[in-house]
Amino acid sequence: MAFLLRRLCFYLAAFVAAATINFFLPRLMPGDPVQIMFSSAGAELPPESLQALKLTFGFVDGPLWQQYLTYLGSIFSGDLGRSIKYFPLPVSTVLGNALVWTVGLMGTATIISFTLGTFLGILAAWRRGSLFDVIVSVGAIFATSVPAVVTSLIVVFFFGFTLNWFPTGYAADPALDPAFTLQYLGSVLYHGILPMLTLCTVLTGGFAVTMRNNMINLLGEDYIVMARAKGLSDGHVMLWYAARNALLPTVSSLAIAIGTVLGGSLVTEVVFNYPGLGNILYQAILARDYPVIQGQLLIMTATMLVANFIVDVSYVLLDPRLKRA
């Protein structure tokens, strides 16, 4: 219990620190969102309406420390303000609408990538030096080295434009009304194939490399030699002796991947014009939409901290040495 309380206090302090950076970061960006909105209206808005716009969006003139305290109070009360780009929608509504798409896309891609990458890493480590190991290792390193934007463009060009097999944008057919029908759900799956393929390609390599390296370091341990000497099958030794212990560091990689799920994949969602959180964040940055930027970064921070806390607890449950300590 004392361990859990210490970790909770640590992550709470980390969240406050991240929220502080989140407050100052958008304000260091050049440009004032209200001034941009006022200027784009031209002569349609009188000068006295500028102050009314500031009041509407919460940009009240005052000391920075006072704005900061108001900001912290709004965080813990759940009031993220109203979006500037999507006014009059609240930030929670804007992010909530995009959250469904991001969880569906990034969540599924993370689960598939972790399962496939871990399995490939286990087999490559067990058959180290073989042709299979060379193919998996080279392919995984190549996949993790290529930037996501390059992978996205290659996938779009090859499968979208050259072969014309899949659509290159949107989450579903714009001509269909959103509903829980087979036609609409089929359109969502069809439009999600290319961004899913891109994300799986980028993520799988990292999991495979991590698992392979961790497992190779354990194959020379005495308990592995003893397990083989006892006559246990190769599959049993590979999965229950080597892979089980090598999985612990891979869980940390999974936590980082889970933490980025609610952040969305900005590059992939922008390339495919996918209406997820990453694309919303990109549009908010262009519009200097402070409330949406701050709300999105807070979601990413909170998710990452919660994922790491779960990993800390799972380490204690998975490793008996930590439990005794």
188 and 73 in one domain?
no
Confidence of residue 325 (pLDDT cuts 50, 70, 90): low
Same domain, yes or no, for 114 and 69? no
Domain extent, residue 65, equals 13-77
Q: In angstroms, rounded to a whole number, what is the distance separating the alpha carbons of residues 20 and 13?
A: 11
Helical H segments across 176-289, by residue range: 182-216, 222-229, 234-236, 244-261, 266-271, 277-286
Number of neighbours of residue 311 by Cβ within 10 angstroms: 19
**Residue 179 forms part of a structural domain:** yes
One-letter amino acid for residue 149 of the chain? V
Q: Which residue has better confidence, 290 or 58?
A: 290
Q: How confident is the model at residue 31 (pLDDT cuts 50, 70, 90)?
A: low
Determine the average pLDDT of the residues in 14-25.
79
pLDDT tens-place string over residues 86-105: 777 788 888 888 888 888 88
User: Mapping DSSP to helix (H, G, I), strand (E, B) and coil, where does residue 63 land?
Assistant: coil
Domain-located, residue 150: yes
Do 122 and 205 fall into the same domain? yes
Q: pTM of the full predicted structure?
A: 0.74
Q: Give pLDDT, residue 312.
A: 72
Same domain, 103 and 46: no
Are 30 and 174 within one domain?
Answer: no
What domain count does the chain have?
A: 2
Could you say which of 50, 77, 104 is where a domain stops?
77
Backbone angles phi, psi at 179, to 5 degrees: -165, 160
DSSP structural state of residue 82:
B
Where does residue 2 rank: exposed (0-12), middle (13-18), buried (19+ CB within 10 A)?
Answer: exposed
One domain for residues 246 and 117:
yes
pLDDT at 121: 87
Q: How far is CA 298 from CA 21, 65, 225, 274, in A?
A: 10, 19, 48, 21
Quick: pLDDT tens for 160-182.
Answer: 788 888 887 777 777 777 777 78
Question: What CATH number is attached to the domain comprising 231?
Answer: 1.10.3720.10
Residues 151 and 226 in one domain: yes
